[in-house]
Structure 1
């Protein structure tokens, strides 16, 4: 494991100065990374995708637990260094690591390394500034991923796991719930990072639906997400008003909502993801009614 002294020494040797641009806050507490790996509960030997491995603390813990790791790193210096760090600290696991130098927001299934099983889980200390879009992108792109355990800003963790009707429920909550169940999985203090962030962190667990209640193809996801974005773009307005631009007019929005079995006077913050799915499906039916035969 990499403790505080190892982290600082390695960063100094590489002339690494953590940047806000890439949201770099390196975990230096061995107990924290062991806890994350344990709480992730990924079956042994299953491949884990790690986004933003940084200097390698969590990577080493995942490898020690018997997981092949696909590490996606945007920083070219860190991407080049990670295999060397593993060869130094865990030489017996060096062949179980594959590093992809890429932006996780652009990663597709075709970018995964050959010769290693597709990832069954995502376990990561995610950069705070891109955490939500990265999670949503990877869940859409990698159907092999069945579970997620990520460390994010505490406020983001609250939003992702918020239920309908709560104060923090919004776009991230509804979009994450499109793929599966989402729960808070604990808190993480600031002192386990270097440099220490100005905010607290939290763990979020996501479990993909075994059988999705709705289609999750790209076109369907795009239509449902458009409804969610519109519903929360004017949070205090009724759905009839908030969806007017999306539907073409307030009258069209009301027709679609009633077709979906939802009161036009309701507000988006009260709806679950299943409701947004019904609205998207109702739009398709209302705008493309079946032709009459005969």
Structure 2
């Protein structure tokens, strides 16, 4: 049985302002350093109490419901951390962030569910404990629990909050196909030189705008490079593949400039575009019902 108690959460997307691949790890992952900035493009999640079971419904983007969804897995993992099988939740996920884009939609959903259920179930777990649970779900999850901007090391799970961008607007663009993170990292395996890997991603205050995955992705998907270059021609101060793709971002000095670029960006059929601003503070809770 459900109760009226519940609330809506905003679950933002992210862009990678820099991503360096330092080499392969024995566990099959890659050692990386990346600077993550959350943006205003967001999914919405409703959390409500339910006796004993976890029930997830999804509207919008084509993503799995039930146990195959990271939001469900986050709820199950948090219940396991609490050690109380009587805890239950009703989760409704409104998807606006595209899947397979490198925008962190699934990871952000998992982080939002961890934060929200910690509140709904009155568990009182610390941010450190939530990040530990998040690490078990995915490499990007801890960054969403650390604030609007973060520097991430290891496979992405070692997170240090950093100052967020406070100016500019993003144009986000995604082609009509998605890319598999595992496949993209497979392309780069063994392709690094020690000199390249030694270059930093940040001076610990501001990111260095470079994504090591672009070379292998653009070689296989030249249309993405053309779209990235189009962003620059339209006035972006920076433009880059986000994470492992397939989404790109361009950073513009003002909303007016971003809107002009949005109108002029015509890379072809199947592409989708969004306008987003950088987030300067975490704001999970939208409203209580």
Name the one with the larger strand percent: 2
TM-score, with length taken from structure 1: 0.25
TM-score, with length taken from structure 2: 0.26
Greater Cα radius of gyration, structure 1 or 2: 1
Name the one with the larger helix percent: 1
Q: Which structure has more RCO (C-alpha within 8 Å, separation ≥ 6)?
A: 2
